[in-house]
Chain A
Amino acid sequence: MDSAREKIIPVTAIVALIIAVWYVAAIFMNAPVQRDMNKRADITPTTLEFVVQTYTQAKPILPAPHQIVANFYKSTFEVKPTSRRSLVYHSGVTLSSTLLGFALGTVLGILIAVGIVHVPALDRSFMPWIVASQTIPILAIAPMVIVVLAAVGVTGLIPKALISAYLSFFPVVVGMVKGLRSPDFLLLDLMRTYNAGRATVFWKLRVPASVPFLFASMKVAIAASLVGAIVGELPTGAVAGIGAKLLGASYYSQTIDMWSALIAGSLVAALLVVLVGAVGGFVEKRMGARPS
């Protein structure tokens, strides 16, 4: 309770500071355009009127926070969730490929980690490629994956999920390799004195020991999955999803729409990370972890 209160005050202070700076910045960012418009319309507003004008533009360079909130509220709660104007609809589209990609990436990551831990040759041959795979910009790979798969008739959810999986398997591999190798050397000796086979060591020792590592890397992986899904939506011709919404809005300089899509994306990411963290906390508590 105390720690929550200790956290709330500094966090709110920072948010208040950011919003204050934002409101000031919005005036200056939007002022040049507003001055031009006023000159053309031959209006000379007072300073206060001018400030209000910079906060009420239809396509401001930097929208004021309340404009974004209003737009976000409208396109989330006042539009039917099945409508193409609804952020719920677009978030849902992105979420589905995020979750599928996350599931694929996690399973793939675990399998690769198990292989690396048990086969020394895989450790030497796989690991450099896995690291290299993450140094290639995802923006370069995503369109190729989409185009190549579209050429063989695979479109829609799968290509986007694959890009998500491409980004999310990496943290899982790294975390799981570390987790599966975490049992003390002496514990492995102890297991040998019980004549334990590799399968027994794996299930009774390595797997339980790796659980905290798995959830820590899944938190990173699910955020990466969302990024992958959004990037995967960009080259699809902006049909649906948060990525499509971002791209469409930027086409028409609908900055307020862009910002509210951005917020939708951030909220989905935060929600997913918190969810994975909660599941991890629950599982670890069931496994007898010391409450922190």
Chain B
Amino acid sequence: MKQTNLKIVSDAQASGSARSARPVIEIKGVSKTYKTQDGEVPSLRPLDFDINEGEFLVVVGPSGCGKSTLLKLIAGLLPPSAGEIRVENRVVTSPHRDVGIVFQSALLLPWRRVLENVMMPVEVKGLPIEEYRRRALDLIKMVGLDGFERKYPWQLSGGMQQRAAICRALVHDPKIVLMDEPFGALDEIVRDHLNEQLLELWARTDKTICFVTHSIPEAVYLSTKIVVMSPRPGRVTDVIESTLPKERPLDIRETEEFLAIAHRVREGLRAGHSYDE
């Protein structure tokens, strides 16, 4: 990542490490059941946890445990079957403004250039174009996509497309960023690189991030807090506060501390399995 001194952080969020553990997202007894033709399919069993301001929360669980459903519930794209989700103390009933989402596929619009794709939320929300254009260009520079602003998505590699998608999620300066296995489709080398970039981006912007993955190393490397989930219907088997320092070079993954947390995550996943079988 380029070392640029950018004023990407809004003043309200710039309080930095002095912040108190104020919950931004509160999940209270939330469960989700899908109604299908074969009857009701439970997807999430009642969940209870908070995500604090500026926290990097990683939800880790096996495929199909309802991780994506959880993100959609937080985003207000789906109503919970029971319980309630509060964001900034307001009950979520519909999609709300202060959120940016990144999915597993970049979902860039093929007829828009990179900058135009990044500007999409600004256009749709009717925010001042000129002001946010500068912000978009700064973000593009931060993720190392400068020079590619006028390229079309097909001219970018998978990793670059995903970086553009991250810029798009951040351009309107949301407090919360939801990421649904954003690097799941990328090879491990690119994934490592983007994990590193994401941590830097997070450190610089102080967003509250809720990140979903089924990769244990990725979960441990990125998180300040890990929520471990069982297979469908998902429930929380463990919540782990990371003891790793905020400064994390890639080789932190070979330290005792890292492996201990990874071990505990694996234990949590195993606990979920034995419960089901």
Contact = CB atoms under 8 A, between A and B. Distances in A.
**A and B: partners?**
yes
Nearest to A188: B77
Contact of B95 (A193, A204, A288, A289): A193
B267 interface: no
B49 interface: no
Given A184-B107, A288-B111, A288-B152, A190 B101 contact: yes
Interface in B82-121: 95, 97, 99-101, 103, 105, 107, 109-113, 120-121
B124 A187 contact: no
Nearest to A205: B109
Interface in A160-198: 184, 186-187, 189-196
B154 to A, nearest CB: 4
A7 interface: no
Contacts of A290: 152, 154
Contact of A195 (B95, B105, B107, B123): B95
Nearest to A189: B77
Nearest to B123: A204
Nearest to B124: A194
Contacts of A288: 110-113, 152, 154
B154 A194 contact: no
A195 B127 CA distance: 12
A200 interface: yes
A287 B110 CA distance: 8
A65 interface: no
B93 to A, nearest CB: 13
Interface residues of A, number: 21
Given A204-B123, A288-B112, A288-B152, A193 B77 contact: yes
A137 B123 CA distance: 49
B116 to A, nearest CB: 9
Most chain B CB atoms below 10 A, which of A195, A204, A205, A290: A195
Nearest to B68: A186
B112 A195 contact: no
Interface in B112-158: 112-113, 120-121, 123-125, 152, 154
Contacts of A205: 109
Contacts of B107: 184, 186-187, 190
B72 interface: yes
A193 B99 contact: yes
B59 interface: no
Nearest to A200: B124
A274 B129 CA distance: 40
B97 A186 contact: no
A71 to B, nearest CB: 48
Contacts of A191: 124
Contacts of B101: 189-190, 193
Contact of A194 (B111, B113, B121): B121
A204 to B, nearest CB: 7
A208 interface: yes
Given A186-B103, A189-B72, A290-B154, A196 B110 contact: no
A94 B201 CA distance: 64
Nearest to A201: B124
Nearest to A197: B124
A191 B77 CA distance: 10
Q: Which of A192, A193, A194, A287 has the most CB of B within 10 A?
A: A193
A209 B107 CA distance: 13
Nearest to B113: A288
Contacts of B72: 189
Which of B109, B113, B124 neighbours the largest number of chain A CB atoms within 10 Å of its CB? B124
Interface in A133-164: none
Interface in A30-53: none
The 9 closest A-B pairs by CB, nearest first: A288-B152, A194-B124, A287-B111, A290-B154, A193-B95, A208-B111, A196-B124, A192-B95, A194-B121
24 contacts: A184-B107, A186-B103, A186-B107, A187-B109, A190-B101, A190-B103, A190-B107, A191-B124, A193-B75, A193-B95, A194-B95, A194-B120, A194-B125, A195-B125, A200-B124, A204-B120, A204-B123, A204-B124, A209-B109, A287-B111, A288-B110, A288-B111, A288-B113, A289-B110
Given A190-B103, A196-B124, A204-B123, 13 more contacts: A186-B103, A189-B72, A189-B75, A189-B101, A191-B124, A193-B75, A193-B101, A194-B120, A200-B124, A205-B109, A288-B110, A288-B111, A288-B113
